[in-house]
Amino acid sequence: LAGISFGLGRDALPEEVAAWDIDIRPDGVGLPAGSGDVWTGEEVFIEKCSVCHGDFGEAVGRWPVLAGGWDSLTHEDPVKTIGSYWPYLSTVWDYVYRAMPYGEAQSLTPDEVYAITAYLLYVNNLVDDDFELSDENFAEVDLPNEGGFYLDDRAEGEIPAFSAEPCMENCKDSVEITMRATVLDVTPDDEEATVTEAAA
Amino acid sequence: MDDTKFKGMKPSRRQFLTGAAAVGTASVAATVAKAQGAPDPLITDIGQQPWSQYLGPGVDVAPYGMPIKFENHVRRTSVEWLTADTVSSINFTPLHELDGIITPNGLCFERHHGGAAEIAPADYRLMINGLVNRELVFTLEDLMRFPRENHVYFLECAANTGMEWAGAQLNGCQFTHGMIHNVMYTGIPLKLLLAEAGLQDSGKWLLAEGADASGMTRSIPIEKALDDCLVAFKMNGEMLRQEQGYPVRLVVPGWEGNMWVKWLRRLEIGDEPWHHREETSKYTDLLEDGQARRFTWEMDAKSVITNPSPQAPITHGPGYTVLTGVAWSGRGTIPRVDVTLDGGKNWHQARMSGPSMAKSMHRFYFEFEWDGRPLLLQSRAHDSTGYVQPTKAQLREWRGDNSIYHNNGIQTWYVNEQGEAENVEIS
């Protein structure tokens, strides 16, 4: 396809690329210059984030929990937070800067996002209260679960296991019902569903 | 339609259990006529057939038509307890009311993370930047001048059937399997746009970014971008619906719905994946050992019987019965679907009907004489790679109960003597 051109579109100006290309990567590529400390982060967080996420990232109601859940990933009900589950700090910075606060995205300055990110590290017991995060030291911070992910391996195990010709006749002697949705009764109907437990 | 009216349309739990939800006025009347053995006034009495006597509405009554009022119950429905609010949330396609393979645009399920952005066509811009020879900006008008292609693909949310990992939870295929739609997309092969910008050899990954307030981003390997991805602006012949990304969305055939970025505003080429929120915190699949899979892109072969099902009970009693459902695979076509009436003791090959296209829904039927005894219905899809849809138990052996996404396990409906169906799991 090299060399194919329809002569459509125009060159993007540097200011335009800078305005939209705000993403950052785990190695810190894309981070703007700036810094913020835990105490500043606490102030900003209480003002702009805690109404949904709680004063300490513990969450209000059904809103996402941002801190805690350490070592819960093998439990029956894992609590997946920045501290317990997320692999990279860059994702925190990138997501807060591009999409938070919910309903008023892209209203935070880079320094505010550094400060909030420092505060989120603090409430996850990952830094002391005098910590200051900046573009200079950003890449030095590792999250606990960085090694907790591996590439999709369905092709090595599941797919071969599920690719055998299946049984068609007399496949089992008996069949028992082991679980029924009507027992749980959480399907919406005229009466509002009252279950508070979250599936996802 | 306002919310109060909407709620009134939803079948109640009592209706689910008695099967009353699916019985329309016409079928009640027909049943009565048959039972009394007398002439049917809907045939013999012109007074009961006003449509045969008086004129109907003219051609300009509905410049953009909606379904007839008797089909008002065919609609998207949400499950309130699933999410914290209705803006970053999901609703469900009414699979039990549909046939064939094409989902009507107004019934395609919605999944937003920052609500449905409203972007006027004149305000739309698409940027390509990063490891390209020329960083470019396109208007919608520019995009309309590229060569187009048409393809039918399914879009399945990675979380479709996710609530069922813990067991049988929601009673109806709309809720258990309705985070999917299947439409014909018209769009530009992504590779043509990348060629226009001049892809550099070091470009190995593409970041697709949405213009909505969630700033949706996903990393896509360049091989997929150059293979079959489309930058689409039409669905089923008309411009995309607002809730489906108007005016432009990414189409990533066979891959999890989250990657089909709506309100697409930017494509960046890089040499590494970005590991953004939607591919670390979300759309990673936690396994029993506390480790999680990342980049689980393909949607594996899957099927579900849409009728009978909990929202679509058998209302005609014993006798000749049509069983139907849909099957799909992110890895190819569906040459075969098996169905069982006895919970997997014996299987029968279903009849495929309609076009068979890779990474598109397929329709299957199995007609049988129902003797009025309880049924345990299942369907089992085979895809063109030889993969056979696994049971939920088989999946849990590999993944445990907490992986949330990618549940393509075989669904079971229990049908009782009255024809009422229920979501169950069986041994």
Q: Are residues B248 and B135 in the same domain?
A: yes
All residues of chain B having their beta carbon less than 8 Å from the beta carbon of residue A62 are 83-85
Averaged pLDDT of chain B: 92
Which of B259, B293, B327 marks a domain boundary? B293
Q: Using the 8-state DSSP alphabet, how is residue B411 labeled? A: P
Distance (Å, whole) CA B43 – CA A102 = 60
A108, two tokens: 């935070």
Tell me the residue ranges of DSSP E strands in B99-252: 111-112, 125-130, 136-139, 149-156, 180-189, 205-210, 217-221, 230-235, 238-239, 249-251
pLDDT at residue B184 in the model: 98
Distance (Å, whole) CA B110 – CA B311 = 20
| B170-181 tens-digit pLDDT | 999 999 999 999
- Under 8 Å CB-to-CB from A41, ≥6 apart: which residues? A114, A115, A116, A117, A118, A119, A120, A122
Distance (Å, whole) CA B362 – CA A184 = 31
Residue % of chain B over a pLDDT of 70: 92
CB pairs under 8 A between A and B: 289
Is B33 a member of any domain?
no
State the smallest CA–CA distance between residue A132 and chain B in angstroms: 23
Residue B23 pLDDT greater than 60, yes or no: no
Q: Are residues B276 and B134 in the same domain?
A: yes
Residue % of chain B over a pLDDT of 90: 88
pTM for this predicted structure: 0.92
Residue A132 pLDDT greater than 50, yes or no: yes
State the smallest CA–CA distance between residue A19 and chain B in angstroms: 11
Which of B275, B293, B311 marks a domain boundary? B293
Residue B86 pLDDT greater than 90, yes or no: no
Task: Respond yes or no on whether the N-terminal peptide bond of residue A166 is cis (omega within 30° of 0).
Answer: no
What's the domain count of chain B?
A: 2
Distance (Å, whole) CA B218 – CA A141 = 23
pLDDT at residue B85 in the model: 82
pLDDT at residue B75 in the model: 96
Q: Closest to B135 (Cβ–Cβ): which among A11, A74, A78?
A: A11
* CATH for B213: 3.90.420.10
| A171-198 tens-digit pLDDT | 999 999 999 988 877 887 643 333 333 3
Q: Closest to B388 (Cβ–Cβ): which among A4, A166, A176?
A: A166
Distance (Å, whole) CA B222 – CA A4 = 18
Distance (Å, whole) CA B375 – CA A74 = 37
At residue B84 the predicted structure's pLDDT band, cuts being 50, 70 and 90, is confident
Q: Closest to B159 (Cβ–Cβ): which among A76, A157, A200?
A: A200
Q: Are residues B353 and B245 in the same domain?
A: no
Is B37 a member of any domain?
no
Question: CB–CB of A12 and B129 under 8 A?
Answer: yes
Are the CB atoms for B285 and A154 separated by under 8 Å? no
pLDDT at residue B14 in the model: 40
Are the CB atoms for B125 and B265 separated by under 8 Å? yes
Residue B383 pLDDT greater than 80, yes or no: yes
pLDDT at residue B337 in the model: 98
Are the CB atoms for B146 and B165 separated by under 8 Å? no
Are the CB atoms for B157 and A32 separated by under 8 Å? no
All residues of chain B having their beta carbon less than 8 Å from the beta carbon of residue A53 are none
B24, two tokens: 């329309």
State the smallest CA–CA distance between residue A190 and chain B in angstroms: 5
Q: Are residues B347 and B375 in the same domain?
A: yes
Question: CB–CB of B129 and A184 under 8 A?
Answer: no
Q: Closest to B295 (Cβ–Cβ): which among A12, A106, A151?
A: A151
Distance (Å, whole) CA B233 – CA B251 = 10
Q: Among B293, B269, B282, which residue's Cα sits nearest to residue B214?
A: B282
pLDDT at residue B126 in the model: 98
Residue B31 pLDDT greater than 70, yes or no: no
All residues of chain B having their beta carbon less than 8 Å from the beta carbon of residue A63 are 84
Instruction: For A194, list phi and psi in degrees, rounded to 5.
Output: -110, 0
Q: Are residues B306 and B271 in the same domain?
A: no
Angle of the A38-48 helix axis to the A110-123 helix axis, nearest 10: 100
β-bridge pairing A132-134 and B111-112: unpaired
Is B233 a member of any domain?
yes
Average pLDDT over residues B65-93: 91
State the smallest CA–CA distance between residue A40 and chain B in angstroms: 24
Residue B28 pLDDT greater than 60, yes or no: no
Is B166 a member of any domain?
yes
Which of B293, B316, B340 marks a domain boundary? B293
All residues of chain B having their beta carbon less than 8 Å from the beta carbon of residue A3 are 195
At residue B35 the predicted structure's pLDDT band, cuts being 50, 70 and 90, is low
Question: CB–CB of A105 and B214 under 8 A?
Answer: yes
pLDDT at residue B132 in the model: 97
Average pLDDT over residues B350-369: 98
| B233-251 tens-digit pLDDT | 999 999 999 999 999 999 9
Q: Are residues B394 and B330 in the same domain?
A: yes
Is B191 a member of any domain?
yes
B275, two tokens: 């590991």
Averaged pLDDT of chain A: 92
Question: CB–CB of B81 and A174 under 8 A?
Answer: no
Q: Which of A38-52, B23-37, B214-228 has the lowest mean pLDDT?
A: B23-37
* CATH for B367: 2.60.40.650
This complex has an ipTM of 0.92
Question: CB–CB of A177 and B338 under 8 A?
Answer: no
Question: CB–CB of B275 and A90 under 8 A?
Answer: yes
pLDDT at residue B350 in the model: 98
| B interface test, pick of A152, A159, A169 with most B CB neighbours within 10 Å | A152
Q: Are residues B346 and B248 in the same domain?
A: no
Residue B7 pLDDT greater than 80, yes or no: no
At residue A164 the predicted structure's pLDDT band, cuts being 50, 70 and 90, is very high
Q: Are residues B164 and B272 in the same domain?
A: yes
Q: Are residues B155 and B261 in the same domain?
A: yes
Q: Are residues B250 and B362 in the same domain?
A: no
State the sign of the Cα–Cα–Cα–Cα dihedral B418, B339, B400, A196: negative
Is B176 a member of any domain?
yes
Residue A199 pLDDT greater than 50, yes or no: no
Q: Chain B: residue nearest A99 by CA? A: B214
pLDDT at residue B17 in the model: 41
pLDDT at residue A117 in the model: 98
Buried b (16+ CB within 10 A) or exposed e, A166-198: eeeeeeeeebebebbbbebebbbbeeeeeeeee
| B188-205 tens-digit pLDDT | 999 999 999 999 999 999
Alpha helical stretches, state H, chain A: 14-20, 38-48, 50-53, 89-99, 110-123, 158-161, 181-184
pLDDT at residue B369 in the model: 98
Residue B37 pLDDT greater than 90, yes or no: no
Q: Closest to A91 (Cβ–Cβ): which among B276, B342, B346?
A: B276
Q: Are residues B155 and B201 in the same domain?
A: yes
pLDDT at residue B304 in the model: 98
- Under 8 Å CB-to-CB from A178, ≥6 apart: which residues? B424, B425, B426, B427
All residues of chain A having their beta carbon less than 8 Å from the beta carbon of residue B389 are 162
Is B332 a member of any domain?
yes
Single-letter amino acid, residue B354: G
State the smallest CA–CA distance between residue A38 and chain B in angstroms: 22
pLDDT at residue B4 in the model: 31
Q: Are residues B309 and B394 in the same domain?
A: yes
At residue B145 the predicted structure's pLDDT band, cuts being 50, 70 and 90, is very high
Q: Which of A195-199, B239-243, B259-263, B307-311 has the lowest mean pLDDT?
A: A195-199
| A interface test, pick of B6, B7, B163, B169 with most A CB neighbours within 10 Å | B169
Question: CB–CB of B274 and A25 under 8 A?
Answer: yes
Distance (Å, whole) CA B241 – CA A18 = 30
Question: CB–CB of A12 and B137 under 8 A?
Answer: yes
Question: CB–CB of B129 and A102 under 8 A?
Answer: no
| A60-80 tens-digit pLDDT | 999 999 999 999 999 999 999
Q: Among B170, B109, B111, B422, which residue's Cα sits nearest to residue A197?
A: B170
pLDDT at residue A200 in the model: 32
Residue B412: give the domain boundaries.
302-424
pLDDT at residue A185 in the model: 77
Is B261 a member of any domain?
yes
Distance (Å, whole) CA A5 – CA B351 = 46
